[in-house]
Amino acid sequence: MARIKASKKRTTEQVEADEQQAAKDKRAKASAQFVHGLFGLDGLTAVVIGGEGVLGGAIAEGLANAGAHAVVAGINQENGDACVERISQAGGTAEFFKLDATKREDLEALVKHISESKRRCDILVNAAGINAATPFLEISDDEWDRILNVNLRSVRLACQVFGKAMLDAGNGGSIINIASASSETPLSRVFTYSVTKAGVLNLTRNLAREWAEQGIRVNALSPGFFPAEQNRKVLTPDRVDSIMKHTPMNRFGEPQELVSAVLMMASPKSNTFLTGANIAVDGGFTGMTI
């Protein structure tokens, strides 16, 4: 008799536990559906120019993880292939397209390739960039032109070429330009870079106004400091010390920490009123003075 009672009690506890688990599963499913409804990118194509780089690569992976087909575009085939491989390993779909972002014909060739693949560019991320810490009086005409071309001309060209394709398709789109902490306030030592990033932000806001009614949202993402290829030479020990003193979180960012901000700007289902914004992901860098 005692054994029957114990087993009945166990059964009642089990029933309660099962009910609790079922309620938990239901909540988890509903919240996963809710989040996917806001940020899922299934069926969309995302082009990440400079997607073979450190930040562009993390962004391409994030967009692919959210369901988009990622087109990793840039000059470095080896790094591009590696990024595509990481995306495939994670179950996403991606391809590398070799191009020089400063050349209009290369960008037009990518638009043609996407159209021939029966896709259209829904999301464009401009993440190519180079840098130099040359003292102001020593900046050569060649260096100035090179940095302006890669960091600013490329953004103008991609916005023209892909923006036109988005306008022609009539489905809106999202353009995300990678700006910088130097876009609003110049950063010491990187004179040319700061000029280009101020230009990127200005162009972003201007295009957000220009294309708002056509449903093309244009936003900027301003990362703080993330060790990458283009800034390796710039990040000298004294520079790192100054950066840390000015970064309340007292650390560098991790590339993956940019992904959620990118998804917020990329998704056509959430933040549909978000355009002309500059979102800083910088550990508090631009939020403080001293």
Ligand X SMILES: NC(=O)c1ccc[n+]([C@@H]2O[C@H](COP(=O)([O-])OP(=O)(O)OC[C@H]3O[C@@H](n4cnc5c(N)ncnc54)[C@H](O)[C@@H]3O)[C@@H](O)[C@H]2O)c1
**Shortest distance, CB of residue 200 to ligand X, whole angstroms?**
8
**C-alpha to C-alpha distance for 184 and 226, rounded to whole angstroms:** 18
Residue 211 is among the residues annotated as catalytic for this protein: no
Locate 70 and state its tokens. 């990622």
Contact 156, 97 (CB under 8 A): no
**C-alpha to C-alpha distance for 195 and 186, rounded to whole angstroms:** 8
CB burial string 16-35: b at 16+ within 10 A, e below: eeeeeeeeeeeeeeeeeeee
Which residue in 46, 147, 152, 178 binds ligand X (CB under 6 A)? 178
Which residue in 44, 68, 71, 74 binds ligand X (CB under 6 A)? 74
Site size for ligand X, by CB under 6 A? 27
**Shortest distance, CB of residue 150 to ligand X, whole angstroms?**
4
Which residue in 128, 158, 175, 279 binds ligand X (CB under 6 A)? 128
Q: Which is nearer to ligand X, 212 or 235 (CB)?
A: 235
CA angle 269, 274, 280 (to 5 degrees): 115
Q: What Cα–Cα distance (Å) separates residue 21 from each residue in 16, 26, 168?
A: 9, 9, 50
Locate 79 and state its tokens. 């790094």
Residue span 92-121 as binding mask against ligand X, x where in contact by CB under 6 A, dash where not: --------xxx-------------------
Q: Is 279 in the site for ligand X (CB under 6 A)?
A: no
**Shortest distance, CB of residue 225 to ligand X, whole angstroms?**
5
Q: Which is nearer to ligand X, 40 or 53 (CB)?
A: 53
Q: Which is nearer to ligand X, 101 or 176 (CB)?
A: 101
Distance of CA 75 to the CA centre of its chain: 18
Q: Which is nearer to ligand X, 40 or 191 (CB)?
A: 191
Which residue in 40, 41, 48, 52 binds ligand X (CB under 6 A)? 52
Q: Which is nearer to ligand X, 231 or 278 (CB)?
A: 231
Distance of CA 141 to the CA centre of its chain: 31
State the pairing for strand pair 93-98/45-49.
unpaired
Q: Is 211 exposed, middle or buried (0-12, 13-18, 19+ CB in 10 A)?
A: buried
Closest residue to ligand X: CB criterion: 53
Q: Which is nearer to ligand X, 50 or 62 (CB)?
A: 50
Q: Is 231 in the site for ligand X (CB under 6 A)?
A: yes
Q: Is 262 in the site for ligand X (CB under 6 A)?
A: no
Contact 59, 36 (CB under 8 A): no
Of the residues 193, 211, 225, 226, only one is catalytic, namely 193
User: Which residues of this protein are in contact with ligand X, per CB under 6 A?
Assistant: 50, 52-56, 74-76, 79, 100-102, 127-130, 150, 178, 180, 223, 225-226, 228-231
Catalytic residues: 193
